[in-house]
């Protein structure tokens, strides 16, 4: 019996405000709250909420026969909580049906899988904790930022405990192979790969409202006929969409929501069932291995990562950002860590792409900037201020290894003092029960030890003085 798995993804970055050179050192708030509020609210009204309601209707009218997967970035969820909490309620209602699987991914929809394995792991763990706290679900299937994947990432994903991963059916990787099978990762054979059927997804996302398309108009029965016509041995069709395709890129007046609602009925008539990715993996056996030596993604015709790493502007920005990854991970400054996450969103680097100059401004259509150079200049101004704040926490004169050792010593000593305080309290209690409520030894260890960083800072500054 053939199965279809729909994947819907919601991501919104925290967009940067216009940040001038003269703001560096004076203004530590980088984000355009008005624009972020406006965009997430508008998309929620036109796309996200109507689509969630459509999915709920499909599940109920099919008596649970319709199933799908949803991916959420942490930055999108934070904006939902700030501006459209009713959207969170819709997602919780979908979770309660038991017919929706929530995907794992990077918290900030970042490029950390290409830049920093340690940061990649931290982001994935934080993302999955968010999903558990919100929906009571533990993600089992991994979907990286824009489905970025290669052999090295496969090993990282498997080491984090995932057995299922979805990625793109890039032509230069698949060759003659069909995406409608389950595969294994060559470098991590225990990792099962679900491959997107890009052509069928594009028939909806790109051609549903295109009168010049030879197959126009696309109807639910026609779409299911195409899926039913695949060879019998091709058992799984994976369809991946950004959720804003429905209601935003394809407005409600195109009939896109009615098209979706009709799919379960026509699927049932043709013996096609809907499954979650975990169900698909449990039912199917892999037919072979896939090797992906270089990173692929679901963006652009080339299906590579040049949309984010294709020019010197992007690589300069990425290099400077991730050069301080270890220092940021060691600090305890909550605001600094939050800004670090928001600055990692892949969108910032996408806006710097110069590919649009050669291929018809496809990237420029999504950018709030006049040009890639404006995007780069604005981001680097913000990053310059951010790096000053990191420097204030941990001067460059102290290398990462020395810094890590110092902080470990401080934390170990703090833990030892806490243990000794408990022992003293226990001894007091055994000698005189009336002393149980006596205070612990003061002052608090963390603050006492923190002052020991000062000599290191002075030493570092002397070394840097010409």
Known catalytic residues are 146
Return the SS3 of 343.
helix
The residues near 428 (Cβ < 8 Å, ≥ 6 apart) are 435, 436, 438
Q: What is the dihedral of CA 364, 366, 371, 372, to 10 degrees?
A: -90
Query: Cβ(441)–Cβ(423) under 8 Å?
Result: no
Q: Which residues pair with 239 in a beta bridge?
A: 6
Here the tokens at position 55 are 């999915």
The residues near 248 (Cβ < 8 Å, ≥ 6 apart) are 43, 46, 47
Alpha-carbon distance 190 to 163, whole Å?
A: 6
Alpha-carbon distance 424 to 415, whole Å?
A: 14
Q: Computed from CA positions of residues 21, 26, 31, 37, in that sequence, does the dihedral angle turn out positive or negative? A: negative
Alpha-carbon distance 247 to 47, whole Å?
A: 4
Here the tokens at position 345 are 């969103």
Q: Phi and psi at residue 176, in whole multiples of 5°?
A: -85, -10
Task: Tell the residue number behind the tokens 């570092």, with chain if given.
Answer: 460
Instruction: Please state the three-class secondary structure of 300-330 as a single string.
Output: CCCCCCHHHHCCHHHHHHHHHHHCCHHHHHH
User: Where are the strands (E) in 154-268, listed by range?
Assistant: 164-167, 182-185, 188-195, 236-242
Query: Cβ(144)–Cβ(105) under 8 Å?
Result: yes
Alpha helices in 229-369 (DSSP H): 256-269, 277-283, 306-309, 312-322, 325-330, 334-343, 347-350
Burial class (CB in 10 A: 0-12, 13-18, 19+), 399: exposed
């Amino acid at each position: 019996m053939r199965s279809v798995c729909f994947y819907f993804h919601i991501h919104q970055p925290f967009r940067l405000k216009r940040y001038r050179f003269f703001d560096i050192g004076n203004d530590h708030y980088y984000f355009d709250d008005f624009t972020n509020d406006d965009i997430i609210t508008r998309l929620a009204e036109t796309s996200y909420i109507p689509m969630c309601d459509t999915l709920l209707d499909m599940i109920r009218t099919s008596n649970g026969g319709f199933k799908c997967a949803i991916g959420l970035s942490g930055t999108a969820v934070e904006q939902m909580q700030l501006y459209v909490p009713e959207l969170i309620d819709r997602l919780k209602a979908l979770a309660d049906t038991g017919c929706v699987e929530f995907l794992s991914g990077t918290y900030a929809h970042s490029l950390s899988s290409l830049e920093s394995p340690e940061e990649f792991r931290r982001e994935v763990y934080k993302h999955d904790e968010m999903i558990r706290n919100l929906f009571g679900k533990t993600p089992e299937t991994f979907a990286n930022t824009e489905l970025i994947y290669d052999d090295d990432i496969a090993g990282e994903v498997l080491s984090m405990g995932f057995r299922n991963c979805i990625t793109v059916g890039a032509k230069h990787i698949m060759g003659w192979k069909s995406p409608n099978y389950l595969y294994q990762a060559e470098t991590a054979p225990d990792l099962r790969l679900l491959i997107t059927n890009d052509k069928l997804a594009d028939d909806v996302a790109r051609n549903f409202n295109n009168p010049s398309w030879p197959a126009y108009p696309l109807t639910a029965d026609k779409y299911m006929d195409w899926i039913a016509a695949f060879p019998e041995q091709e058992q799984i069709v994976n369809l991946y969409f950004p959720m804003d395709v429905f209601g935003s890129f394809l407005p409600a007046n195109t009939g896109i929501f009615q098209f979706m609602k009709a799919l379960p009925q026509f699927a049932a008539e043709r013996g096609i069932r809907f499954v979650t990715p975990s169900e698909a993996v449990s039912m199917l056996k892999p037919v072979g291995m896939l090797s992906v030596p270089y990173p692929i993604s679901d963006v652009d015709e080339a299906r590579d990562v040049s949309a984010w790493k294709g020019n010197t502007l992007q690589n300069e920005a990425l290099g400077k950002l991730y050069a301080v990854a270890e220092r940021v991970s060691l600090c305890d400054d909550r605001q600094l860590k939050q800004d670090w996450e928001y600055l990692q969103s892949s969108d910032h680097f996408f806006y710097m792409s110069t590919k649009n100059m050669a291929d018809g401004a496809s990237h420029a259509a999504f950018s709030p900037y006049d040009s890639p150079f404006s995007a780069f200049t604005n981001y680097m101004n913000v990053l310059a201020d951010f790096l000053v704040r990191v420097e204030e926490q941990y001067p460059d004169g102290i290398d990462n290894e020395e810094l890590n050792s110092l902080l470990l010593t401080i934390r170990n000593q703090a833990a030892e003092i806490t243990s000794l305080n408990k022992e003293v309290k226990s001894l007091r209690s055994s000698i005189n029960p009336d002393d149980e409520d006596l205070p612990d030894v003061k002052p608090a260890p963390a603050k006492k030890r923190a002052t020991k960083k000062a000599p290191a800072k002075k030493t570092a500054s002397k070394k840097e003085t010409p």
